Amino acid sequence: MTAAHLLSVDGLGIVAGGTPLLKGLSFGLGPGDALVVLGESGAGKSLLIQAVMGILPTGLRAEGRVTLMGQTSLATDAAQRRHTWGRSLALLPQEPGQALDPLMKIGPQLAEVYEQVDGQSAESAGSAASQALEGAGLASARTLYPWQISGGMAQRAAATMATAGGAQVLLADEPTKGLDVHWREAMVRRLQELLAQGGCLVVVTHDLGVAKAVGGQVIVLRAGEVVEQGRTAAVLAAPSHPFTRQVIAADPAGWPDAPVRPHGDLVVEARQVSKGYRGNPLFSGLDLTIGRAERWTLQGPSGTGKSTLGNLLLGLTAPDAGTVQRADGLAPTALQKLYQDPQASFAPRLSLREALRDVARLHRQPWSTVVQTVESLGLNEGLLLRQPHQVSGGELQRVALARVLITRPAFLFADEPTSRLDPVTQQEALDVLARALDQAGTALLLVTHDPDLARAMGDRQIRLALVAHNPQDHGAPNTMAERLVDP
């Protein structure tokens, strides 16, 4: 570690009681340097970022030292770094929807950052916020609340706020999660610009394309330990550790195409459905028929109505025009949803065990089936004793998958169900999902921004595409539906 470093970490470890969750690691980043953190879900990647920031969950203790802009503090002494938040040290959290204030509109939230962190006048801050949101394709979201925008739009809003204060050190936890190809590339360019301007970056990602684009150094974590460390390009080109090789081999680009399935009996059908919000159309005249055991994938830019279409089919919202028909005799609980944000789909004060017990009781499933399903997804039953905020995003996403599988649904709408999983865990989880769906004859509509994942998981595809929008505002909801593959 040298005085030229903007951020140095020495012997950083994280302990829960007497159990180590992250074992001592060290790195130093100077101007223009990047550190990519790869690893399995639950390995401690997000904990690393939280420890540097000084926001570890209650019950966890950090060890080691953090040096920021030449000022050294104990990792456990979060108060010493708090005054740097937003100014020198910024965080883009894994769950942007949880970080945004639900009672405050997007524009005023961003303006507040410019005013209180950057020191601008109220008038100047409001103007800067409008300009920044337009550049992020969020002009239409300026007067909306966080709960009124899509997950991808919330990701872009949180990123804009994280960088508004001009911090030179950015901690980015899955910054491209939930973004379509256009905005994924825009996010990567933003990260590269930070480096070009003399800042430094720690980025946690499961996207190997993002890792290659960011470059710099890489740390590969497994079970809280560093198993490989080096230059990103060199490690990804010639990994030395078996786990790193496994991560690279699990990239969906190498998966085979999904087999073509025959049409099944009707499960759910949309006829000439239209939907819009606040006077803006999302889609209109859309037809979609999904049969038993069929595999559909749904793609399209952020904000085009993918989640809304799924909610229409589930009966969670009503169309403005057209009809949705479900097969006769299906109970309401036969149509299930895997949410894009698993944190928001669990009661925050109930243990995961209680949450799964409630579902098992409702669907008359023995607890042994629940345990078997949880373990098939690579989770330990003991993890269920924790509350949702006490597990990683990837672990919670797998618990959500277990919860929906024990209901044995006739139709499953899966909204980015593996976006928080590393490639190896994603491949294993989707293999478990596919076998369970085949066994139950369940129809699937899977939302994903990954074209390789769509190709491997679905033999029928539908895409919502922007047909008329302001080029600076990809969030403007004016879309059309295109059926790509329908054997």
106: pLDDT strictly greater than 70: yes
435-442: long-range contacts, CB 8 A cutoff, minimum separation 24 = 436/405, 437/293, 437/295, 437/412, 438/293, 440/408, 440/409, 440/410, 441/264, 441/292, 441/293, 441/410, 442/293, 442/408, 442/409, 442/410, 442/411, 442/412
Q: Which residues make Cβ contacts (< 8 Å) with residue 159, sequence separation at least 6? A: 92, 96, 136, 172, 175, 187, 190
439: pLDDT strictly greater than 80: yes
pLDDT, mean over the chain: 90
One-character DSSP codes across 351-408: -HHHHHHHHHHHTT--HHHHHHHHHHTT--GGGGGS-GGGS-HHHHHHHHHHHHHTT-
> CATH assignment of 266-485, given 3.30.1490.20, 3.40.50.1820, 3.40.190.10, 3.40.50.300?
3.40.50.300
Per residue in 291-321, pLDDT (tens digit) is: 999 999 999 887 788 999 999 999 999 999 9
CA distance 207 to 433: 21
Where does the pLDDT of residue 217 fall: very low under 50, low under 70, confident under 90, or very high at 90 and above?
very high
State residue 2's pLDDT score.
Answer: 55
- The half-sphere exposure of 375 on its side-chain side, counting CA atoms within 13 A, is 8
Per residue in 136-157, pLDDT (tens digit) is: 889 989 999 998 888 788 888 9
449: pLDDT strictly greater than 70: yes
DSSP H helices, 76-121, are 79-82, 96-99, 106-116
Among candidate residues 51, 50, 44, the one with its CA nearest the CA of residue 20: 44
483: pLDDT strictly greater than 70: no
Where does the pLDDT of residue 487 fall: very low under 50, low under 70, confident under 90, or very high at 90 and above?
very low
Count the helix, strand and coil residues of the chain and give each as a percent rounded to the nearest 5. Answer: 40, 25, 35
CA distance 167 to 258: 45
Residues forming CATH 3.40.50.300 domain(s) in the chain:
7-251, 266-485
Q: Which fold has domain 7-251?
A: Rossmann fold (3.40.50)
Per residue in 379-399, pLDDT (tens digit) is: 999 999 999 988 888 899 899
